[in-house]
């Protein structure tokens, strides 16, 4: 009772065609299709720009004159602490 049957949809479509006419309705659908196509093209252009920027960043030379040496991360033994400086004459102990 509450749902739409195929007859309801057909009657609604016929009323729409009578109100807008076949030519006007098809031109509206064509405009919608053009909008979708331009949206997809815009999204594809954004992805292409991102790929180009990534490739440009990869190709930037990073100090190619000498190869980068690995970083030494081994712990070094603690150096003995230096003895404190001798007190000055005007200082008290």
Q: Where are the domains of the chain?
A: 22-60
Residue 76 reports pLDDT greater than 70: yes
Which tokens sit at 58?
């990869």
Q: pLDDT of 10-67, one tens digit each?
A: 998 888 888 877 777 778 888 989 999 998 888 888 787 888 888 887 776 655 555 6
Report helix angle 6-20 to 22-59, nearest 10. Answer: 90
The stretch 86-93 carries a mean pLDDT of 71
Contact 93, 87 (CB under 8 A): yes
Q: What proportions of the chain, in percent to the nearest 5, are helix, strand and coil?
A: 55, 0, 45
Listed residue (39, 17, 38) closest to 28, CA to CA: 17
């Amino acid at each position: 009772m509450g749902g739409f049957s195929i007859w309801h949809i057909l009657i609604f479509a016929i009323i729409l065609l009578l109100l807008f006419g076949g030519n006007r309705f098809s031109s509206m659908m064509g405009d919608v299709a053009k909008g979708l196509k331009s949206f997809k093209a815009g999204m594809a252009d954004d992805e292409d720009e991102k790929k180009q920027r990534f490739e440009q960043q990869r190709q930037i030379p990073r100090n190619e004159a000498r190869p980068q040496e690995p970083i030494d991360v081994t712990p070094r033994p603690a150096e003995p602490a230096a003895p404190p400086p001798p007190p000055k004459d005007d200082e008290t102990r």
